[in-house]
């Protein structure tokens, strides 16, 4: 079960690229950023997984 204060913070923090964005959903910069995040997310997760595997192999 999530802590309500943490859930609220996660939705509104600027550290969450999708949190609090509803107010600006149609702004051109937001639309562009959202598309870039979607386009590169799979590759970024793959790179992160590779980095984690290489760090685990070294330990």
Q: Is the pLDDT assigned to residue 6 strictly greater than 80?
A: yes
Question: Cβ distance 10 to 16 under 8 Å?
Answer: yes
Per-residue pLDDT, 42: 94
Could you read off the pLDDT of 9-56 as tens digits, one per residue? 887 787 877 666 778 889 999 899 889 999 999 999 999 999 999 988
Q: Is the pLDDT assigned to residue 5 strictly greater than 70?
A: yes
Residue ranges of alpha helices (H) inside the chain are 4-12, 28-58
Burial annotation 10-39 (CB, 10 A radius, 16+ → b, else e): eeeeeeeeeeeeeeeeeeeeeeeeeeeeee
Tell me the pLDDT band of 1, cut-offs 50, 70 and 90: low
Per-residue pLDDT, 19: 67
C-alpha to C-alpha distance for 48 and 44, rounded to whole angstroms: 6
Per-residue pLDDT, 16: 77
Question: What's the CA angle centered on 58, arms 46 and 41, to 5 degrees?
Answer: 10
């Amino acid at each position: 079960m999530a802590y309500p204060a943490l859930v609220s913070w996660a939705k509104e923090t600027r550290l969450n690229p999708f949190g609090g964005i509803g107010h600006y959903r149609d702004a051109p910069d937001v639309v562009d950023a959202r598309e870039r995040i979607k386009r590169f997310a799979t590759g970024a997760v793959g790179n992160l997984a590779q980095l984690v595997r290489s760090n685990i192999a070294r330990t």
